[in-house]
Structure 1
Amino acid sequence: MTPRFATDVITFYHPGFWALGSADAVRDWALAHPGAFWERVMDTLAESGVSGIELTFAPGDIASALRAFGSASAFGAELAARGLSVVSAFIADSDAPPWRDGADLTAIVADAERRAAFLAEVGAGLLVTGLPMRATYGTRPPFFVDAAYMSRMADIAHAVGEAVARQGVRLALHTESHSTLWYERDIDLFMALTDPRYVWLCPDSCHIALGGGDPVAVARRHAPRIALAHWKDAVGPIDVHLTIDETVYARQQPYMAELGRGVVDWRGWADAMSRTPGAGTVLIELDEAADPVAALRAGTAVARAALAPAG
């Protein structure tokens, strides 16, 4: 089976791509001109030969698409006219109801149902989210990612997974660096506590490697539950305890690499992915590419080589 290639909207957030001076300027301009933002993203994506997109935090989020086109179906039609489609949507909004305490499960489920309704209307079937972030190492009182904590997260995931499943959408959990679903042990524990009919996995090869894990081993162990994966490279494990605050994502960047220039075993990863329910999509994750067309073409070339028969 020949997979379709996809990417995250974050690929298009580089200020240089928009001839603007900063990430804040890109966000401000895109929020003020959602139609123009999406037109350029879609046209550039079509030029790259990549046909799928994952929505994410603003400005490439569900709310922006609705402001630009009025409805999910109209957004989908604009994509389809270019041979494109939505693959998934990532819950990355800062205003999304937090899972940490699960204090308002009703709000968490309602928020997921709203997103799932958009996905169903646009013809996509995956809602992706992560678990809450860890606390900085050494914080007092300490925050432990233990069985009791993971049981609470599993309860929330079950409620959300069941709710969105009624709209034909699957919930997949992403393995984000410095989150409570980062280390191999975190992933194994969470997957053991959740029902495979309602909770799926979206492993990220880069983030698993940054946590000192083996992305290929994780993918092989959990292959039956992988609905989608993020293909991204890493220079190696993060060897220091980073402060976990709003700047942690920027400070992770030096540990990330272009596909094929890091430590991920792409041949092994591709083989593991070929045995998953998500084998039909290869999502190349690039953070803020100044030249998205060149970066996506380079990334898909690495993935194609890894997927090609050996010999």
Structure 2
Amino acid sequence: MLQWEIAAHAVNQIALMVLNETGLRTAFHPHCGGFVETPEELAVLMEATHPRILGLCLDTGQYAYGGGDPLQLVRRYADRIWHVHLKGYDSDVASAARFEGWDYQEAISHGVFCDLERSTFGFREL
């Protein structure tokens, strides 16, 4: 857990420096293949950082591919979502990627992220 404490402290400090020096708020963008990918990892980061210093970028496709439900994320962190990146997500391609053992780039080449109208995630509820 020490690794998470160090990472959260660093992210919080960087966001605070950006805020103090520029007046801009920092929105963390969870991403597949990154340090924070899954809902569980994001929860640890959000709990360990200050809600007025670090916000969240909701990337619907990345969050879904990381195993999360974007609607649940909105319900849990609505006050910390400072930026939204709407991205279509094809759950059938994601399932194939997991079954076949594709890496991230291969999943992208097969269309795991798609046009919004083809997305298996419903944007109406969001």
Structure 2-normalised TM-score? 0.85
The answer to whether the 8 A contact 1:260-1:266 is kept is no
Secondary structure of the equivalent of 2:26? strand
Cα RMSD, aligned residues only:
1.6
Secondary structure of the equivalent of 1:190? helix
Aligned to 2:98: 239
Deviations 1:1-50 (A, max 9, x none): xxxxxxxxxxxxxxxxxxxxxxxxxxxxxxxxxxxxxxxxxxxxxxxxxx
Aligned to 2:115: 258
* Alignment partners' CA distance in 2, 1:213 and 1:220: 12
* Alignment partners' CA distance in 2, 1:219 and 1:148: 28
One of 153, 156, 172 as aligned partner of 2:27: 172
One of 71, 84, 105 as aligned partner of 1:229: 84
Deviations 1:111-130 (A, max 9, x none): xxxxxxxxxxxxxxxxxxxx
Matched AA of 1:190:
L
Aligned to 2:10: 156
* Alignment partners' CA distance in 2, 1:208 and 1:265: 14
- 1:75-224 to structure 2, matched below 5 A, reads 147-166=1-20, 167-224=22-79
Report deviation, 1:150.
1.8
Matched AA of 2:18:
V
* Alignment partners' CA distance in 2, 1:172 and 1:211: 18
- 1:31-46 to structure 2, matched below 5 A, reads none
Report deviation, 1:159.
1.1
Secondary structure of the equivalent of 1:158? helix
Which structure 2 segments of 5+ residues have no match?
Answer: none
Identity across matched positions, percent:
25
Task: Report how many residues are paired.
Answer: 118
* Alignment partners' CA distance in 2, 1:164 and 1:209: 29
Secondary structure of the equivalent of 1:200? strand
Report deviation, 1:189.
1.1
* Alignment partners' CA distance in 2, 1:242 and 1:198: 36
Deviations 1:184-241 (A, max 9, x none): 1111111011011111110210011112211110121011001101100111134254
Secondary structure of the equivalent of 1:228? strand
Structure with bigger gyration radius: 1
Structure 1-normalised TM-score? 0.36
Which structure 1 segments of 5+ residues have no match?
Answer: 1-146, 270-311
* Alignment partners' CA distance in 1, 2:37 and 2:71: 14
* Alignment partners' CA distance in 2, 1:174 and 1:182: 9
Secondary structure of the equivalent of 1:212? coil
* Alignment partners' CA distance in 1, 2:45 and 2:102: 23
Matched AA of 1:162:
L
Structure 1 stretches of 4+ moved >6 Å: none
